[in-house]
Structure formats: structure tokens, C-alpha cells
Amino acid sequence: MGQAFTGWLLDVYDDPQDGVVLWLLDKDGARRRLHQDFPVTFYAAGPASQLRALWRFLVEQPTQVELDRQERRDLFCQEPVTVLCVRVLQPALLPRLFQEAARRFPTLSFYDADLAFSLRYAAVYNTFPLAYCHITTDGQRLQNITVLDSPWDMDPPMPPLRVLSLELDSNPAHASPACLTIRTTLENPRPAYRLPLRPERPLLVNLAAILNRHDPDLLLTTWGDTWLLPHLLALSRRCQIPLPLNRDLTRGLAHRAARSYFSYGRVVHVGQQTLTFGRSHIDRYNAMLFHDYDLTGVLELARVSALSIQTVARTSPGTGISAMQILTALRQGILVPWHKQQAERPKTALDLLRADQGGMVYQPLVGLHANVAEIDFISMYPSIMAHFNISPETVGNHSPCTCLVPQLGICIDQARPGLVPQTLNPLLKKRVALKIRTADLPHWDPRRRLYKERASAHKWLLVTCFGYLGYKNARFGRIEAHEAVTAYGREALLQAKEAAEDLGGLVLHLYVDGLWVKLPGASTVSDYQPLLDEISNRTGLPIGLDGIYRWVAFLPSRVDGRVPVPNRYFGVFQDGSLKMRGIEARRGDTPPFIAQTQLAMLERMAQVPEVAQLPGCLPDLLGLLRGRLASLRRRRVPLPDLVVSQKLSRRLDEYRTPSPAARAAAQLESTGKSLQPGQRVRFLYALGDPGVYAWDLPIPPDPACLDLARYAELLLRAGATILQPLGVSEATLRDWLFNNAGYGSCPGVLPLNSSLTGLQL
């Protein structure tokens, strides 16, 4: 019997035997499971004889396929290519069939062969996670699905998701958890249940009852990927008590092994992943950037990328932007090349040249400056790609309609919109719209946070898009496109500098996508508007005023005080908020005690309304530092505030000179706790050999072993960073702090106009 309903798409995946499974949340509240036939296709191109051989091979396979010859477009070829089109009737059978074909016919080029299943479905039906759909069925099978909203809607109808959060009372990597706290809503902080992890049978029975009663759409856990779900599954098997962690009871949990990989110049460790069917599982401690954009951002990423909620929660936003490019290609019938993981090639001359061909970096004018505006290009690199139509297939392509990249002499085809700009345009538009919505709402409005989290998710998509363009293993990457983007970026920044100088301004600093500038007599946002308009006109790129600093200090190098460093500065905006880059408080490996002290100093300086009064803070700041030093020496600082947390960059046997982190990791290893590259190790600086004490050793640290002198030194340095622009050198501060020298011995307490202070008003 046919029926129709509207509701939200919760999950889509291929069924081992029967097409695709869809889970839908009917707007009347029911969760419905439907099957649908969904054949999937991959393509092969190459010499006709090879294609014929592949044809013969495929028809002999047990897997049901429909074969056909077609002409299709390869993004990088002008002419259409002839391909063998392999339609696999059962989508779950495609990966194995393709692998076998690729193994036997290594010389053929394959396309659309290794795509995330959700993308294949999304390309055909325009679906995305949580899409609002109209569905017709014959009861069991889906007959028709029509999506009623779009990922680009600002306020789409959101489903009333049922969330169940399962939280452990301790990190299983460090201590054995004893208790599971369960909440049934995100809003209510009061736990609904507390279950002891032992004895096991009552735990399983109770948890099963809770899962059945609440039937959540989303399981939000702490350490669920790496410990909790695998642990529960093992218990369930051992005690033979079924536990419905999956909503789809025909499937088991899916696992992906832990791995370490190199990304962004450092090793990243991703723990084991545990995935559910019919509902989504997110481990908030194993989810990428979850702290930055929360669940709202994860859902936004899933909607715009069409990747599943569980996927976007665990992978970098680069995966999301790549998925969007694939989707753009699929929907336009452009072939998506099979993405072989290529071995690293030796660096080419091009790679070396890139060293000084990145973003524009300028030497700041060291010292303290008042009334400085910080002006940033908004999403600079993505805006450049969109504005100049930079895409792997448009760069270096001659056509009747090209433009020339400044200084590089590379052509960019303007005749038709590129794949990357087409993918980026709606993202750029939506991010601006989200930011405008945020700005329009009052601070108390709860929707403000949600818009911000969504905008933050978009920010990461846009940021990673640029790097992806220059990544040689990317499907749609091309180094010349990457270079064209940075060349336009440098050009735009120089144009902005000229615009500022033409309006009589003093440019203090340029850094990749921003400039710090003083216009004479300017002190308000509207005073800077003409400059913003001028830059926008000259470059064609969107620009924004990040803020006007009451004062900002650019720091010199610690190694050589005469050399400015581009990204070490701090300042206070007119609204009293702080901004800092590169200093100790921003670093993840600074002990909290040191970071808190530095922040406290800055907060006191932020209280001062006028820059001229800043040196007046000196006695106060010095008092603060002395107080902190005293509490350190009297051992009043709680040990957790002295913990250093650093990432291991390699295996322990690969260290030639073991760093403090490596020595702490070696301590842990000797008690059986081994750490992988990319994992963090926490330790205290300690007296004697080996100079550290790992925080997660079974025996808690003895406070008497603390290396107080080392912490005092760190405190001194962090203090000196802040006082340096006021004319207090590290040596002077050392005298003050450690030798109790009086203020009189301080050359920093001088009239403001002293050249010693480097003060420019």
C-alpha cells in the first residue's frame, strides 16, 4: 500500500544485500527505515583492447553489472573521453569489484571508483544529512524522494533530534573509569542516569533499556570511539546480553583502526573510530575541532558537504571541501579521477621555489603603537580563487578569454567557471550571511552562538580549500593554481598598502591577509571606512576592519633584539578585548600557571584607558609577578597548573637527543603505557635525572621534586615578553624579580617619549 510523508533524512548507507537503506525522521516523530534500489557506476578509460578485456572480465564475474560505452568529460582534457561505464546493481559490491578490476588492469584510468557512498546518493537525489524531504513508499521500499530544502538555506527546518550523551567519569587512557553518566538532552545539565560500570550484567541490562526507551538519533560520548563502545560491545558478547548501540539491528558496529598521519607539518594521531548504523555516534574527544564549532558546526558541515555526520565529525574539514568538489563534478557529469594514494615524490625545484613565494610577510615596526587599525581581507585565499576563477583546470589554459597572474605570467581561463570557484561561491556567500546574522543579533540571544558555530565550520572549510589546491595528492589539486592564489594575495596586500599610503596612512605591518595601519586623526570605525572602500575597489576583494587597537605592541626577536618577527604581538582593542599572537599564552605547551600569569598581566594593561598611562601599570605588573613567583616558591601553585603538554613527533627510538617530552614518554613506556607519534605527553619539570616527571605515571608526582628554578625562569620570560614594549628588558626584570632590586634600577620607568621605550604615539 502506497503512502507519503515528509521528514528529515538521518542516515543513508549501502546494504550488503539490498540496495540502500535510508533512515528518516517522519515529522510526526516516527523513525522509519526504508530500502531503495540504487545502482552505482564507475568508469574506465584507456586503449580499446584493454577496455574490451575488462569488459570480458566483468561479464564473467558473479557480481551483476550493466556495461556500456559512453563519451564523458575529464576535467583536465579538452576532448571528451571514451569510457567503459560499469553499472553495479548492488552498491555494496562495487568496492570489491573495482579493486579486482584495478588490480588486473593497472594501465587503465579509472573514474568515480572510490567515492563516499553518501556522495553518490547526494549527487543523484540532491540529498544531504538532515535534508527535509518528501517521501513516497509502498510500505517497505522508497519509491520517490524529493528534497524540500537546501544546504544553503539560512534557517532550514531542523529535526527534533533525540540525543543521548554517555560520559565516563575518567579518561580510560589514564585511569579505569568506574561510572557512566547519561543525559537525555543537551540543554539539561542534570544527568538522567548514573550507571556503575561494574557489575557488568546490570550495566548492560539497564543501558539496553535506556537505549530502547530513548532510541536516540545521536549518541554523543566521551571516549566512545577508543574505549567505551568497544568495551560495551565486548561485554555484551561475553555476557550474551544484546545491546542496541546500533539502530539498525541487522548490522554490527563498524570500526576504523587508529592511525597517525602527517598533516600541516606535524603528526596527528587519530584514535580508533567506532561507527553506528541508523544513528550517528560522535565521540567528542575524538572529533576533529569539536571544541571549535560544537555539534551545530558538525551538522552544518554535514549539510553542506553531504558527507555523513559521523564522517565530518572525525575528519578534517579538508575532507569536506574535497567532498563538495566531487559533488560539483558528479552533478555536472565530470569524471572524478580515482585517487591512488601516491608515494611521496622527491621535492622538485618548484617546491624549493615556493619557499619565498608564499604569503606576503612584512617586518613590523617594533614597539608600542596607539590607535592602530587592523584590516583583514575576508577569507582572502578562497575569495581570490572565486574572484579570479582559479581552479586546477583553468590555470595555465589558453583560451580567447584569459587573464595573466601578476609576476608569474600564468594564464587563467575565464571562459567558463572553474570547478573550485563554483564549489566555493555558495560557501563564501553563506559565511558572509551567517556573520551578518550573528552581528545583527543582541549578545544575549542564544541563536547568536549557533550562527557563530556554523560560521566557524565554514571558516575551516574555506581555509582548508586553499591548502588542498596545492596538495599534490589531492584529486583536484594543482601547484600552479596554488601559486596563482598566493601571487594574487601578495598583489592584493601591496595594493592595500598603497591605498593606505595614498590616504596618508602609516602602514606598520603586513601579514598574509591583513594590514596594520594608522590613518592620521582617525579613531573610529567610520574614519577607516573610506580606506576599506578604496582597498575593496582596487583589489575587487572583500575586506573588513578587524578592530581598532587602543594600542598594539610588535615584539622583536628574542635571539636578536634588533630583528622584528612577523607574528609576535599583542594589543588591546577599543572595546577592551585582547588579541595576541605567538606569545607564551597562545602556545599549547605553556604550563597553565605561566599562561594565566601572562594573561593576568595583559588584562591589567587592558584596564588602562589611555596608552600614555601604560607605564603607570609597571609597579602593579611587577607586584603581580612577584606574587606569582612567591606562591611558586612556597609551593602554593597546584601541580596541574604546572603541567607541560607536548606532542610526540616520532617514535621514542627515533629521537637522537630525547626532548623533555620524549623522556617523559619513556617513563610512561617503562610502566607499560606506550604513546604513538601525534599523541600528547604531559609532564612536570623535575629535579635530577631525567629532569621530567610524566603526569600520567601510576605514582603521583612528589611536589618536592619540582624544578622550581625552571618554572621561575619560564615565568620570568613570559613576564619579560609583556614588559619588553614598556622598555623593561629581560635582564632588568631578572634583577627585579630574583635579586629584589628596587624600581630605581629600572630604566623602563622613564618618560613616555623616551626612545628607549620604542613608544610611538
Ranges within 519-578 binding DNA (CB under 7 A)? 555, 557-560, 563, 565, 567-568
674 binds DNA per the rule CB under 7 A: no
| CB 544, min distance to DNA, A | 9
Under 8 Å between Cβ of 512 and 361: yes
Q: Which of residues 475-494 bind DNA (CB under 7 A)?
A: 475
- Between CA 214 and CA 212 the distance in angstroms is 6
Binding part of the chain for DNA, among 18-26, 173-181, 464-472, 752-760 by CB under 7 A, reads 464-472
Name the grid cell of 264. Answer: 600541516
The least distance separating DNA from the CB of residue 98, rounded to whole angstroms, comes to: 12
56, 103, 345, 347: residue in contact with DNA (rule CB under 7 A): 347
Which residue lies nearer to DNA by CB, 591 or 615? 591
| Chain Cα centroid distance, residue 715 | 31
Q: Is 310 in the site for DNA (CB under 7 A)?
A: no
**Binding residue (CB under 7 A) for DNA from 371, 389, 438, 456:** 456
Cis peptide before 690 (omega within 30 of 0): yes
199 prior amide bond cis, ω within 30: yes
Residue 354 interacts with DNA (CB under 7 A)? yes
Residues 6+ apart with CB under 8 A from 71: 80, 81, 82, 83
Q: What is d(CA 562, CA 313) in angstroms, rounded to the nearest whole number?
A: 45
Contacts of residue 208, defined as CB under 8 A and 6 or more positions apart, other chains included, come to: 241, 242, 243, 244
Which of the residues 503 through 522 are near DNA (CB under 7 A)? Answer: 513-514
Establish how many alpha carbons lie within 13 A of residue 323's alpha carbon, considering only the half-sphere containing its beta carbon: 26
What the block records as the C-alpha cell of 479 is 601547484
String of contacts with DNA for each residue 49-88, x by CB under 7 A: ----------------------------------------
Q: Is residue 319 a contact residue for DNA (CB under 7 A)?
A: yes
Binding to DNA by residue 724, rule CB under 7 A?
A: no
The strand pairing partners of 683, in sequence order, are 644, 694
Which run of H or of E encompasses 291?
helix 290-305
Q: Should residue 96 be labelled a site residue for DNA when binding is judged by CB under 7 A?
A: no
Q: Facing residues of 335 across strands?
A: 74
User: Looking at 349, 355, 439, 704, which residue binds DNA (CB under 7 A)?
Assistant: 355
**Which residue in 126, 181, 206, 646 binds DNA (CB under 7 A)?**
646
Comparing CB distances to DNA, the nearer of 63 and 679 is: 679
> What are the phi and psi torsion angles at 308 (to 5°)?
-70, 155
> Any contact of residue 16 with DNA (CB under 7 A)?
no
The two most distant CA atoms of the chain are separated, in Å, by 93
Smaller CB distance to DNA: residue 167 or 294?
294
DSSP code for 731: H
Work out how close the CB of 682 gets to DNA at its nearest, in angstroms, rounded to a whole number: 11
The correct pick among 472, 538, 604, 673 for binding DNA (CB under 7 A) is 472
- Which CB sits closer to DNA, 559 or 704? 559
Contacts 24+ apart (CB under 8 A), 680-684: 680/645, 680/646, 680/647, 680/648, 681/645, 681/646, 681/647, 681/648, 682/643, 682/644, 682/645, 683/643, 683/644, 683/646, 684/639, 684/642, 684/643, 684/644
DSSP-assigned letters across all residues of 522-587: --SHHHHHHHHHHHHHHH-S-EEEEEEEEEEEEEEPSS-TTSEEEEEEEEEETTS-EEEESSGGG-
Q: Which of 39, 467, 592, 701 binds DNA (CB under 7 A)?
A: 467
Specify the residue for cell string 578604496.
Answer: 534
Q: Quick one: 143 or 659, whose CB is closer to DNA? A: 659
Among residues 135, 661, 706, 759, the one that binds DNA under rule CB under 7 A = 661
Report the residue from 137, 226, 305, 379 that binds DNA according to the rule CB under 7 A: 379
Task: Say how many residues touch DNA, by CB under 7 A.
Answer: 82
The span of 55-63, 213-221, 455-463, 697-705 binding DNA (CB under 7 A) equals 455-463
345 binds DNA (CB under 7 A): no
Regarding 610 and contact with DNA (CB under 7 A), the answer is no
CB of 455 to DNA, least distance (A): 7
Closer to DNA by Cβ: residue 146 or 263: 263
Q: For the CB of residue 121, give the shortest distance to DNA in the complex, in Å.
A: 16
Binding mask 103-142 for DNA (x = CB under 7 A): -----------x----------------------------
- Under 8 Å between Cβ of 22 and 121: no
- In DSSP terms, which residues pair with 183 in a beta bridge? 165
How many CB atoms within 10 Å of residue 686?
A: 20
Q: Strand pairing of 163-168 and 266-270? A: unpaired
Q: Nearer to DNA by C-beta: 347 or 398?
A: 347
Q: Is 316 in the site for DNA (CB under 7 A)?
A: yes
Minimum distance, C-beta of residue 512 to DNA, in the bound complex (Å): 7
Residues in 222-261 that interact with DNA by CB under 7 A: 256-257, 259, 261
